[in-house]
Amino acid sequence: MANINITDPPSVSVTPTGNSAAPTQAAINLQNSATQASQREFDLCVGMISDVGHGNSNRNYGDKVGIYSGVVARQQSGDAWSFNPLLAIAQDVQSDFNGQVIEVDLANYFANRGETPGVGGMGQPLSLGISVTGSGDYRNNAAIAVYQPIPTQFNRGVCVVSGIAQAAFCDYSSATTSVAIEGSHSYGIDTNNMSSGKPLRLKNGLGIWSRDAANSTDLQIMAVDGTNNLILGQSCTNAIIYTHFLPAFDNTFVCGGPSNRWSTIYAANGTINTSDPTLKTDVADVPSAIDTIMAIKPKTYRWKSGGYDLVDVEEEQLVHAVEWHDTQEELIEEVNGRHVLTKRSGKRAEPAYDNVPLFDSRGNPIVDDPLPGTRGQMEPSKESHPRTIRVPRMEMRKVSVKKQVERPGRRTHWGFMAPDVKSAVDKLGLDFGGYVRDENGIEHLRYDELIPIAWKGIQELIAENRSLRERIEQLEKRKA
């Protein structure tokens, strides 16, 4: 029951404290000055103790509200604010003064809430510092906006100082973009002053993407797959390294594999293999190599598969549908020393979503009571509403994708057959690390380990040639 009821009262001409730029009319005028140096002072004190309404069949609309402010903007209305607080900090204020426009004090003396997020991230019952809800048939610019024409009015937009247990910012929605960083910034995200922890953590399989040069396709540049392999440049043309590319530990990791081979390796200089004798053991001379060399027959050949080409092909895929929306962008430009606000119209393609009903494990639709922030509307709906979830709208469409296409070998190569090398070396009764057979049964050769065999054979031929020359010289001397 209202103790005071004022309906369409005569307006009082006032000069609001801190805002005297234009004449103002008020239904109730309350202007005071502080008088107590050591006590708290309230210009308007409103208090209520809520202890009725629980269990009432009409509980959904038995809200208890300390202060309610409602404005209805109708035809020919000027700009409207439902609530407009102001704190004007004068030039002569003390340097240690602390000022807050609004302090929201949520004192929960009952139990922890929100430890486990419910559907949509908000498990009931709720205890929220600020709840932004809305109703109507059309979208709004923003739920919360920092809108100040002076570019450097605030040092920081939103600050979370302390008192947060799990996450400073959570987004449980299905918005097209969770965080859109637009405008001109030196840094999009800056973790320079972060003292510890992980600046960025991604769910397995979700990578880091970059826009291509044509601004038409997203390219995955980094990800970790289901077997914890780091993938670089999965959908990019090339991966270019601008510094040394080093393994974390010496003589530990393999570059490539039996089924993941490099097609061609280019280098300004040859590969460098460690050959310090202090790092080797069981050193022995290579046995006679002439017979081994003669047993290995060089061959010419062409590869059945000369490699794979990444080609762009179009194929029908189930992809996220898009909707085109008219947009109007506001730009602030400096013209002749003045900041001028201009507007630019255009169209923007946004991923399309549909709201579909949400069901429980038994197949029954889940029905919710109205959310707390919607109960103070002028004409609230008194019916419960089904809970829905926002899901991407999918459609079949031709898209350009990169696919591996095998190409046959074209050039003629000179080399050896691995079984021939193994058979020849086995006759020496020695292990030969230049022959490798992988777990798939594919045979390989380390061609650099064939050099000592050829070198030993050359030495034997040189020694034999010298011996023959000495014998010829001796025969010539005898004839003389």
Does the structure show a pLDDT above 90 at 461? yes
**Reported confidence tier of residue 281, pLDDT bands at 50, 70, 90:** very high
Q: Is 429 left (phi over 0), alpha (psi -120 to 50) or beta?
A: left
Write the DSSP assignment of 397-463 as a string of letters.
EEEEEEEEEEE---S-EEE--HHHHHHHHHTTT---TTEEE-TTS-EEE-GGGGHHHHHHHHHHHHH
Any idea what the CATH number is for the domain that residue 456 is in? 1.10.10
The tally of CA atoms less than 13 A away on the side-chain side of residue 453 is 22
177-212: per-residue pLDDT in tens?
A: 889 898 888 899 999 999 888 999 999 988 999 988
Buried b (16+ CB within 10 A) or exposed e, 65-89: eeeeeeeeeeeeeeeeeeeeeeeee
pTM equals 0.63
The residue behind tokens 């690390």 is 433
CA distances (Å), origin 73, targets 27, 77, 79, 81, 82: 18, 6, 8, 9, 10
Q: Is 462 inside a domain boundary?
A: yes
Phi, psi (5° rounding) for residue 294? Answer: -70, -25
The residue behind tokens 């390294």 is 241
Q: Is 464 inside a domain boundary?
A: yes
Does the structure show a pLDDT above 70 at 249? yes
Tally of domains in the chain: 1
Element (H, E) at 295: helix 290-295
Q: Is 162 inside a domain boundary?
A: no
Q: Is 188 inside a domain boundary?
A: no
Q: Is 356 inside a domain boundary?
A: no
Question: Which domain, by its residues, includes 461?
Answer: 277-302+411-479
Q: Is 295 inside a domain boundary?
A: yes
Q: Is 444 inside a domain boundary?
A: yes
11-23: per-residue pLDDT in tens?
A: 888 888 888 777 7
Highest mean pLDDT, choosing among 106-120, 152-166, 418-432: 418-432
Task: Residue 351: name the closest of 396, 392, 294 by CA.
Answer: 392
Contact yes or no for 452/425 (Cβ under 8 A): no
68-117: per-residue pLDDT in tens?
A: 999 999 999 999 999 999 998 998 998 889 999 999 999 988 888 877 76
Q: Is 210 inside a domain boundary?
A: no
